[in-house]
Every structure is written in structure tokens, then in C-alpha cells.
A and B are shown apart, each in its own frame.
Chain A
């Protein structure tokens, strides 16, 4: 069940994930999509980047002890490209991630994150480099993302972040799970249905 809560500020430690074009097969390999609930997705996050076929750790960055308990990812370009599988952001959310800061995000993935209340913030390459350096040098650095002011603050420095106005509003007002808003316009839906040509035998 999605609870509608206002998301104004997110605070936590972060890990920088290396590379661009991290796709949904890396985030959530297809074999886990055969489960009919999302309950265990947090356990399967990035499984094949983290473990070999024998289950031995490949020492992927999120398994470094210094990055225990992170709630923010720092990523490059085109994060989440590929499939529409919501299992991917479900895994991210259930793992404990509350926000992702990066250079760009794939669109279907971004829509799924919004549905789950995970803000995706874009930054310039320069800002990403600075944030990555801070959390690499000092993994316990606490980041504070402020959606009202569109900033992230860490180690006494403040940087700009960006996200669409529509998404920003939906997080601030707690309407990021759109279903209540959608149901509100039930009458307007009926009106549209009565005039859509292909629902009315294409009558003039």
C-alpha cells in the first residue's frame, strides 16, 4: 500500500555507483521478475554486479562496509535504462534508498520512481564529481536534499539539484502516488469516454 506522505527533505549517506547506462537488467535481473510479489526485491538489488554465480561477493561498491546504511545513490547518465520493470525501483526502495542524484535518468524508470516516492534529482557533471569526491573521501558525510529549495547540502557546501516542477510539487504535496488525483476526475473521464470516436463507433 502506498501511503501519501509529503516528501520535503531527505537526509542520509550516499554511495557513488560507477558507470553510465546502468540498465534495469543490472538493477534487477530478469529471473527475479518471476516472483508475483515485490516483497523480496530489496534482497535481489544489483545481484549479478554484487555476487558471482557461487554467491561469492564481487565487492561491488554498495557492499563496501563504509557504505552500509546509505539511503542515497549518486549515478551517471541514463540510469535505469531498459525495461519498465517496477521490480527495479521496488528493489531500490526496499533496499533503503530514498533518493537518487545523477546526470540523467531513463523515462519509464523515472515515472516508476515517482510512483514509489523516490525523488530523482539531476545535477551537472561538475556537481556530481564534487559530491562523489566528498562521499568517497568521507563516506560518513551526511547529505541533505531539500526539495523546496532544490538543493543538496553536504560538508557545509550547497549545490543545486533539478527535477521537473510537476514531480517536485507532487513530492512536496504528498500526491506522488497519483491515484487519488486520478479518481477525483471520474465525471470528466465519463465525459471524455462519451466523445472518443473509437469508443462510439466512430460516429461523427
Chain B
């Protein structure tokens, strides 16, 4: 039984009651919304003539369906246009803040909330999107919910939830050059399995996370759900407080100082107990790449594709399906595999630090002419910052396409999609069959550094050659 962890403290602080079913009623301190999972919830609320209980604890933006190339209204896709109109009307009707494109604060929801200082430590945070786990980087319990649960939050600002166990995932040592946060989480999922985290919240701890920036921590927590863990968090510390200070919605002055005391108090105690602890050594980590059809089917970029019988028993069925779909052969190296598209962006890796790393590699170089490279900022604010630093010029001069903010090619809900059985190297978080728009499209997940190096060569390559 986990005790005195951040998970225990924040869960107990937000527990309204134990329900007669045995689930806990948990207050949701912060609710984010976007255009895909909200329309039916608002429609149900309207149908029952209900109201939003705490409008000022709900924030909305638009990201999944937003075109990143041509944002003229009405959108060319009539369904996208209807969704944009629907969320605007719904948020206005129910009194919820909506960061639309006119606001200059629009972007991918898991990038917008933190950059505005809305996401803070010691909260419970929900959103109709599985990558809500991202916000756990701040020391909050943040998780994805379905549309009916979105309705519950709107109506009551609470949810019926079952408690989780807590697994401490420790990474010690120093990350070698060319190895980044994305590689850390890909390795973690490879080892613990795509469903290893079911029933658990993951607490990421150890030297590696202590020295990571907030953006790196968000990359890691973002993909907790890909390992089955609905919640993934990192204890708040000075790095957290420094990031938050001065942001628009963050507490200010004396309130900020009082907030720090609260934030420190909810961190896991030094004598905290966990249901499970696993430990990794960062010093031997290499850049990672997925080759299969779940985020767990990944390898070090220097290695050869695994034989089916080398894989853990629980991965083998899916691995066989993966080889058939991806048209790869066990035993072949992954380095040298050609790609058609490179996508740098998404809620996983669409922040300023990601673009600085990509720009460092692409500076003065050209994207291989046979590939298409999309570089997509995670928010309007990130776009402005990239441009203020002149990094957009590097991308454009290299032959990459510099876009407007949105979820883009992560998933097939906007015009950015693969065609036929194209292979992409993507800094996003999912590689399921058909994920990026074509029913035969193939996705390889990598860090921004690896993606930039691949863009130059037009094939899978080791980013360390460029650093």
C-alpha cells in the first residue's frame, strides 16, 4: 500500500466522499477542454437544462482539427468548421474561458495550460484526452477522461474514481549526449510494457528527473499513458517554482510565496512507501526509436530489429502483427531505413526547447529533397518565441515547412496526414496502425534531435552524428 506519496496526499485532499459503490468522489481542481471530446457533453448538459458548477475552473482551446497550413475560415473541412463553431458557442453559452485563435493563446491543450501558468502543483486535473498525464510534470494528478465524465465534471466538478497503486520509476545517473527525455520514456515503456502501468500512477524520480527542465518533464509524463499508467507525475521542486513564477495565471507576490509552501507540502515524503519501485540507469541509454505498432515496441537506434522469440511473451502476438504491417524484417538494422515524412511537434515535443534542439541540428543543412518535413509549434506563444529566436528561418531555409499551431500529424483529424504506406519519423506519442491518417501509413516515434537528423539524411540515422 502506497503511503505519504504525492499521489496519496493530493488524492486525499481532493476526496469529497466515499461513494456507496466503493469508488471515491474526487473534486477536479482544473478541467481542460478541446473541440473533439466536448460537444456531446455540452449537448447532454443542455438537454438536461443543466449548468456548469464552477465555470472558472474550466478552460478550453482548439487543437485537434485546426489546420496548420491554411487557417482561413470557414475551414475547408466542413466538419472541422462545425466543430470550431460548436466549441465557441458552447463555451460562450456556459461561461467557460476559450482560447481561440483570435486570443493569441490557442494551441495544443497540454502546451497551453502549463505555459499560461494555469497548471500548477497539488491539483487534480482532468481533460477529455489521454495525454492529460502531461500536467503531472508539475506535481499534480492529471488524467484523461471520456465524454460522459466530461459531463460529470461540468455538472459537479467531481468524478467517481477508483484509487490507484503507485509505482516509483527511478532513473539515476546522467543522460549521455544526444539522449533526451523522449528516449527516457520510450525506454521505460519498452521495459515495463504497453500495459505495465494499468492500475498504477507512476512517480518519476531520481537524478535524471531532478535535473530535467519542466518541458522535458512534460515530455516524459505525456507518455505515461502509453505505458498504461493513466497518471504520471514528478514531485515539484525549485525548477517547477521557477518555471511557474510570473506566468499569466500563476499566483503573484505574497500569494506565490504561500503557494510554494503548499506545493512543497504535497511532494512525496522521504519516507514515502510505494507499491512497486523500478530503477533504471541513464548512463547506458541510447537514442530510441519505435519500430512497431505500439509505443512499447521500441529499440535503441543502433540495434537490429528483434526476433519475435527474443521478445517478452506478452509482446509476441502484437510484434508479429507489427512486422506484417510495418513491412520490416526481424534481424535487420533500423539505421538506414528510408522515410518519407518527418514530423516535429505534438503535445509530446512541441515546445521551445524541442525546436531549439531541432534547429541546432538543421542549422546550415538541408532537409533531404525526397522527404516532406513538417515543423509544427505547439501553441501560438511557442510559434512567437521560435520566431523571436530566428529558429523559423533555420527551418524554412533547410527546406522544412514551418506551420501554425495544432495537433497536426499526430493523429488524422486535420489535413496533415500520411498518404498510402508512407513511413514517418514523428516526435508524437502513438504509432498505432492507421494513426497518422492512411490505413497503411507507418509511424516511427523519436526525439526531436533524432527527427531532425533523419530529415537531413532521408533515412533513420543516429542523431549523435550531428551533435
Contact = CB atoms under 8 A, between A and B. Distances in A.
A192 B14 contact: yes
Interface string A30-50: 110111111000000000100
B37 A86 contact: yes
A162 interface: no
Contact of A84 (B129, B228, B255, B435): B129
Interface stretch (A138-146, A150-158, A179-187): A179-187
A192 B17 CA distance: 10
B162 to A, nearest CB: 6
Residue in B158, B230, B412 with the greatest tally of chain A CB atoms within 10 Å: B158
Interface in A14-33: 19-21, 23, 25-26, 29-31, 33
Contact of A115 (B36, B129, B146, B317): B146
Contact of B194 (A25, A81, A165, A202): A81
Given A108-B225, A164-B162, A173 B21 contact: yes
Residue in A1, A82, A193 with the greatest tally of chain B CB atoms within 10 Å: A82
A20 B44 CA distance: 34
A23 B120 CA distance: 31
Interface string B315-326: 001100100000
Interface in A144-199: 164-167, 169-170, 173, 175, 177-179, 181-183, 185-186, 188-189, 192-193, 196-199
- What bracket does the count of chain B residues touching chain A fall in? 35 or more
Interface in B42-84: 43-44, 47-48, 53-54, 64-65, 77, 79-80, 82-83
A85 B195 contact: no
B343 to A, nearest CB: 15
Contact of A116 (B83, B148, B251, B321): B148
Interface stretch (B22-30, B357-365, B382-390): B22-30
Contacts of B14: 192, 196
Contact of A106 (B16, B77, B161, B198): B198
B208 interface: no
Residue in A38, A78, A201 with the greatest tally of chain B CB atoms within 10 Å: A78
Contacts of A82: 130, 430, 432
A181 B160 contact: yes
B4 interface: no
A176 B54 CA distance: 24
Contact of A165 (B22, B39, B53): B22
A2 B160 contact: no
A179 B156 contact: yes
A78 B195 contact: yes
Residue in A19, A77, A179 with the greatest tally of chain B CB atoms within 10 Å: A179
B32 to A, nearest CB: 12
A175 B19 CA distance: 10
Contacts of A193: 27, 54
A55 interface: no
B25 to A, nearest CB: 6
A19 to B, nearest CB: 6
Contact of B148 (A30, A48, A112, A192): A112
B65 A25 contact: no
A2 to B, nearest CB: 7
B432 A19 contact: no
Nearest to A25: B432
Given A181-B160, A196-B13, A37 B43 contact: yes
Contacts of B439: 48, 52-53
Interface stretch (B108-116, B215-223, B256-264, B458-466): B256-264
A112 B151 CA distance: 12
B128 interface: yes
Interface in B406-421: 411-413
Contact of B27 (A21, A107, A192): A192
A204 interface: yes
Pairs of residues from A and B, 4 with the lowest C-beta to C-beta distance, nearest first: A86-B146, A112-B146, A166-B22, A84-B144
10 contacts: A26-B432, A26-B433, A36-B83, A37-B40, A86-B147, A104-B198, A111-B161, A173-B21, A185-B17, A189-B27
Interface of A: 1-2, 19-21, 23, 25-26, 29-31, 33-38, 48, 52-53, 76-78, 81-87, 89, 104-108, 111-112, 115-116, 164-167, 169-170, 173, 175, 177-179, 181-183, 185-186, 188-189, 192-193, 196-199, 201-204
Given A19-B321, A34-B77, A84-B145, 19 more contacts: A20-B314, A21-B194, A21-B293, A25-B430, A30-B413, A34-B83, A38-B147, A82-B430, A83-B144, A108-B143, A108-B230, A165-B22, A166-B23, A173-B21, A178-B160, A179-B152, A197-B262, A198-B120, A198-B251
